Structure 1
């Protein structure tokens, strides 16, 4: 079981590397072309990608740290390191998003706007297509290995694709004697960066504070209730621990059952959780049923 989870984390690192390589190339390309073509929107997009490099590196470090085996200080392992990495990535993205908003807003207020060359627009569109491909790769990988950090990276990839499209629209619009559309697109880019950062922060902080989806918990309860021999569920709790889910459930069974028979019920619960929900870590406490 743990070997499979460690293998999943190792696979998750591939997604982080794909993002890092894509961001390294695209950020350099956007910043250079944005500077040469006087495009505020494309330069803002390029700055966004530089933060994405740092965020992806944070995710990579988190995934590698999660693979460390349990020790005296971490008897449950280091699985939450990838969630912490997602949180750090959100902070980095928010700082840059606010910086982009400040610079773009200042350009509009100071009326320091220029009409950018169309090369900037085509660069932004090409970058959007590349980032959408990276998003699809990381999204599928995150679903396969059930990784919160890789899914956060995928959401960032998709956000970057939309940011590049928004930059392209602003640059194209600036060609029609509306040069202020380019810095305006940069403002929109800044808001989109901040929005993505907030969504990743909210999800990571919810997980780190042991929050869990109520609807998913209800589905887990229904699975246990349908097990033969379970008279009642006294309590059921679940929490995300990195890319794994931990479930604690208290059930009531017929008091006339012996230890072996009661144990068979707990084994069936564990098997159903594994088959129907992909949950490998279930702790079942058995109590006698009182009519």
Structure 2
């Protein structure tokens, strides 16, 4: 069934990075979720009312909130794929994240409402009579939700959609919730203890946790997450594969939503190479790598000139110093420039922010390196730039 919907969306075009393919998959996932969740919410609501079970009714409204989530998913995919305009030159991709955030808050509201109803049921207990048909409906619901979780997970991985992957996780949470409700109905066969309200609270806690997890994940994406390590490695190796590029550094990736990523990187090139030749190579690299990784890549050229004996000596002594600290990753853009008769040593030091000690001070580190340079040549000033990487 999943493959059928996938083939329906792709129409033979299995390039999942293609904007139109991605949009169609998002629509199909949303409409399938809408139908399944609406069907389940109606069945559970009828079951809950017949049995007077607050736990089953809470589960029904949880599925109803999932129906609203599916509607928001469809709307989100539609709006996020709107073309760039004057106010939003990089597109509207982050609307998909905002949609997920709205869905998460809707889920949490449902959770809070049913905690209140469950507490009321504990205070005013009501016996639950086990009935085979409602129980079978719950088992069917569990089966459908297992499939829906697999369905959204597969489609979400195909198009790298955080929204669909979150929907898959939410569906898996619903499997747990409904399983607990079904188990409580079975317990009613062997005990008269009014557990319905307590199970309702447990279901509500699952709902709240699901909503909180979605809020946390979505906010992280809106704030700005670090690019995946595989992308960093592959993009770096890709730029280095072109002729005359000696080294790369300062890779920065900007995410404006799924499929709307910009990246900039500095490429070190020989200073004596023909400008037209290296310009054509850089243009080719930007074009080919942008297409390969489905992003917009800009490469900045850093010419590397002739290094005098003095500059090589200073550079080697600085390298020997920074090797003492495991959190120093590298140095780059080393140069000695003249300004109004003064010589200034300019270079960048890359510090691993995940490994550096909490007591690490950029200013103290700069002063130490500046004093080292003064020991080599008292007439040299320094301009040291610290690049923190995480």
Q: TM-score range by the shorter chain?
A: 0.7 to 0.9
Matches for 1:250-289 after TM superposition, within 5 Å: 250-257=266-273, 258-265=275-282, 267-268=284-285, 271=288, 275=292, 278-289=293-304
SS in 2 for 1:251: strand
Instruction: Report deviation, 1:261.
Output: 2.8
Q: Which runs of 5+ in 2 are unaligned?
A: 1-14, 308-390
Number of aligned residue pairs: give it.
288
Instruction: Report deviation, 1:230.
Output: 3.8
CA distance in 2, matches of 1:85, 1:172: 38
Which 4+ runs in 1 deviate beyond 4 A? 272-275
Note if 1:246 corresponds to 2:259: no
SS in 2 for 1:57: helix
CA distance in 2, matches of 1:146, 1:11: 11
Note if 1:227 corresponds to 2:241: yes
Instruction: Report deviation, 1:61.
Output: 0.6
Contact 1:170–1:185 (CA<8 Å) still a contact in 2? yes
RMSD: 2.6
SS in 1 for 2:250: strand
Note if 1:7 corresponds to 2:21: yes
Q: Deviations over 1:243-263 (max 9, x none)?
A: 123322222222233343354
Could you say which residue in structure 2 is the equivalent of 1:42?
56
SS in 2 for 1:248: strand
Note if 1:27 corresponds to 2:44: no
Query: Structure 1's 287 and 191: CA in aligned 2 closer, same or farther, altered over 3 A?
Result: same
Contact 1:250–1:287 (CA<8 Å) still a contact in 2? yes
Query: Structure 1's 280 and 214: CA in aligned 2 closer, same or farther, altered over 3 A?
Result: closer
SS in 1 for 2:268: strand
Could you say which residue in structure 2 is the equivalent of 1:148?
162
> TM-score scaled to structure 1, two decimals?
0.88
Matches for 1:106-185 after TM superposition, within 5 Å: 106-108=120-122, 110-119=123-132, 120-185=134-199
SS in 1 for 2:224: coil
Structure having the higher Rg? 2
CA distance in 1, matches of 2:109, 2:254: 29
SS in 2 for 1:79: coil
> TM-score scaled to structure 2, two decimals?
0.67
Query: Structure 1's 3 and 187: CA in aligned 2 closer, same or farther, altered over 3 A?
Result: closer
Q: Which runs of 5+ in 1 are unaligned?
A: none
CA distance in 2, matches of 1:280, 1:213: 12
Greater CA drift, 150-159 or 32-41: 150-159
